[in-house]
Every structure is written in C-alpha cells, then in structure tokens.
Amino acid sequence: MKTLSLSKTIAVSLGALIVLLAVVFTLKAQTPNLNLKGGSKLVYAMQSPNLIVDATVIVNTIVPTISFKWKTSETVYGKVIFSQESYNSGRKISSKLLDDQKGEMGFFWISKGMFAEMSQGKTSFTLNGNEKMEGVVKAGVEQMEIKVNGVMKSLEVIHAKSVSTTGGVEFYVLNDANNPLIIKMKTADSGFSLKEITE
C-alpha cells in the first residue's frame, strides 16, 4: 500500500480547501446580502380584491430599528416606525398597507424574534395582545430572483407557511437575521410581492 509523504498530504489538503472555498464564494455571489440603508427604495406590487397597485417603500433607518415612508402610484403617503420592542420580538403582521406611528405592526419586515423561531423550525404565531392568532412554520429555504440596482439577483429566502389546514398567511422572508425583509406575502384575498430594489 502506498503512503503519501507529508508534503503531498498537505498539497492534497490545500487543494481540497481551495475547491471548498471556491464553492462557498460562488454560493455567496449567487445569494448576496442586501445593503439597505437610508434612501434605499423598494418597489412592491400590491394586490387586493379590487385593486392592483405598486407601492414604493423609501427606507429612513434600518439601525437601531426600522422606519420608512411609503407611497402608491396614487401618491398616498404614509410613515411607519417600528418600536425597538416590536422589531426585536413583535408578533403583529399586517397584510394591508397602513400607517403605524405606534410601531406595533410588522409590515414589509418581520421581527427578529419571529425570524429566529422560524429559523429554528419552531411554529411562530402572530399575536392579538397575548392571544395566539395565525401560526406559520418554516417550509424550507428557497431562491428568489429580484432586480437589485437594475440587475437580477438570486436571494435566499425562508418560506413561511400557515399551519392552518384552511390556509392563511404565507410569506417569503430574506434569510438574514439582521434584515428579515418580507419578499412576498399572500393571504386568501390579498398580498404583495417585491419587484425591485435600489440600494
């Protein structure tokens, strides 16, 4: 039986490491993190039973919490500020665009707490006060194509699916604990989907 010399063993190991790193960097290139900041714009297609309209989200802050302005093609403006508590552990999610100066509703982003629960495979519930309402579970990790700065990019998302047998909310959230951005959401009669990002 042949034995490899120490130098050959090191060379083989280094070669394998280089191949592994190349694969990792290729995967990272295919699933880039978003670099959202003040002034970033996100364009969503909004759909309800009677209306289909685009909504533009203009980011004000991401850190330490999220605040943004939004407008539709009908030039209706609103402002949403997430309280620090809601961003960290809140469980209220809205599927309809509305103003929220108290920072209680999750819209376009879910809370970091909800993201952590789904990442760990736990059922995560939206809440009405302390009452558990709709529950969602992780239904896998997928790739979604989104136009970022004019170029189509593949983003890694967590698919969250309702635990209810009669359906309910279903959404796809960016697989990024620091930026749990909802890419797509749908309910029985409404929803929204991210079309384009300008960072």
Q: What are phi and psi of 189, to 5 degrees?
A: -130, 5
Q: What is the pTM of this model?
A: 0.78
pLDDT at 25 over 70: no
pLDDT digits (tens, 9 = 90+) for 29-85: 344 578 999 999 999 998 888 888 898 999 998 888 888 888 887 777 778 878 788
Q: How confident is the model at residue 27 (pLDDT cuts 50, 70, 90)?
A: very low
What is the bridge-based pairing of β-strands 182-186 and 170-174?
A: antiparallel
SS3 118: helix
pLDDT digits (tens, 9 = 90+) for 145-187: 999 999 999 999 999 999 987 778 899 999 999 899 999 999 8
pLDDT of residue 3: 53
SS3 114: helix
pLDDT of residue 197: 96
